[in-house]
């Protein structure tokens, strides 16, 4: 199932470039697709939830909506339903991109969908094994399957970029994330390792691979969890004061777009970059004009049980 949308106005840095945002249905993936489109890219937005059917996450956001937002921002949005755990579906997707565009310049591996299997605070032996293994498949196997089939197209031209979406900086994830648990910790560290491995494999072809992490993301699910909207998100700080450092998906979307437009992006090869750090390097802000540096805040304030105060961190 696929839907194509036309193009209207926008910036031009990525005009003529083709991106695949794998896992673009909502949150960071959707924002990345939109911001790539804002700079003129043609964006293939994939996921499992369409207007006709939902994935196991059972949320209302769809890939068609994402593609429409890409087009409205100035790019060309193309929605394609793909289960990235099914190699044949990924093969068909890449063949289609090759047939329609003849190139692939940016691959964003943002596939996840494992939130419903997370069991916070549970030890490995207390956690559902079926749920944990499903998380590994959704968060690791999907990325490997997609890269395996997409990279031969990406390396045809020098300058290809792979962005592996993770959660947490390399420094932060050097310590075990006991709150999130064994399976989640393993997924996010594995994704960072994938970026490092691909950075070495792509280097001879003039390609770059890196990992990118948002901070405390105000995804659709997170806003619902706190019973707020993007317009009144600060009301959630009454329940969780440290939510004051949260960021909208736009920030990491702008980070990915800035990386894709950077002719010197290879300087980040193999590294893990945060949205907050990228905002300082590339001089952009979140949608509200602020520049939250969530991971520095979490280390220096939240983890030390200091009173919630984002002064100097956004």
CA–CA distances in Å: residue 52 to residues 1, 61, 89, 292 = 10, 11, 18, 37
**pTM of the predicted protein model:** 0.95
**Per-residue confidence (pLDDT) for residue 198, from 0 to 100:** 98
The sheet that has 42-47: what strands, in order across it? 2-7, 76-81, 42-47, 18-22, 106-109, 161-165, 208-213, 272-274
pLDDT above 60 for 1: no
Confidence of residue 178 (pLDDT cuts 50, 70, 90): confident
pLDDT in tens, 205-215: 999 999 999 99
Mean pLDDT, residues 107-126 taken together: 95
19/247 Cα distance (integer angstroms): 24
pLDDT above 70 for 5: no
Mean pLDDT, residues 95-101 taken together: 98
* Sequence-ordered strand ranges (E) for 106-201: 106-109, 161-165
Percent of the chain with pLDDT over 90: 93
Where do the domains of the chain lie, and which CATH numbers do they carry?
A: 2-304 (3.40.50.720)
pLDDT in tens, 227-266: 999 999 999 999 999 999 999 999 999 999 999 999 999 9
**Per-residue confidence (pLDDT) for residue 9, from 0 to 100:** 40
**Per-residue confidence (pLDDT) for residue 8, from 0 to 100:** 39
pLDDT above 70 for 3: no
User: H/E element holding 47?
Assistant: strand 42-47
**Per-residue confidence (pLDDT) for residue 56, from 0 to 100:** 87
């Amino acid at each position: 199932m696929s839907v194509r949308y036309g193009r209207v106005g926008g910036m031009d840095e990525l005009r003529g470039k083709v991106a695949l945002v794998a896992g673009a249905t909502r949150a960071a993936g959707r924002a990345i697709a939109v911001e790539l489109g804002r700079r003129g890219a043609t964006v293939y937005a994939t996921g499992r939830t369409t207007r006709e059917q939902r994935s196991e996450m059972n949320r209302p956001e769809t890939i068609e909506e994402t593609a429409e937002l890409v087009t409205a921002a100035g790019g060309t949005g193309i929605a394609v339903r793909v289960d990235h755990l099914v190699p044949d579906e990924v093969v068909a997707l890449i063949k289609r991109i090759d047939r329609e565009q003849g190139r692939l310049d940016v691959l964003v591996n943002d596939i996840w969908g494992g939130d419903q299997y997370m069991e916070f605070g549970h030890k490995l032996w207390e956690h559902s094994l079926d749920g944990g293994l499903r998380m590994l498949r959704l968060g690791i196997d999907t990325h490997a399957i997609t890269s395996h089939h997409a990279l031969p197209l990406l390396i045809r031209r020098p300058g290809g970029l792979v962005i592996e979406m993770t959660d947490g900086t390399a420094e932060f994830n050097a310590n075990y994330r006991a709150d999130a648990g064994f399976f989640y910790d393993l997924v996010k560290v594995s994704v960072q390792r994938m970026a490092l491995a691909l950075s070495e494999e792509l280097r001879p072809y003039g390609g770059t691979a890196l990992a990118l992490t948002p901070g405390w993301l105000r995804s659709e699910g997170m806003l619902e969890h706190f019973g707020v909207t993007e317009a009144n998100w600060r009301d959630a700080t009454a329940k969780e004061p440290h939510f004051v450092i949260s960021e909208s998906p736009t920030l990491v979307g702008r980070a990915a777009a800035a990386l894709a437009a950077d002719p010197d992006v290879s300087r980040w090869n193999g590294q893990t970059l945060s949205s907050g750090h990228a905002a300082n390097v590339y001089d952009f802000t979140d949608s509200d004009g602020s520049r939250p540096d969530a991971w520095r805040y979490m280390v220096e304030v939240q983890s030390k049980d200091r009173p919630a105060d984002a002064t100097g961190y956004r």
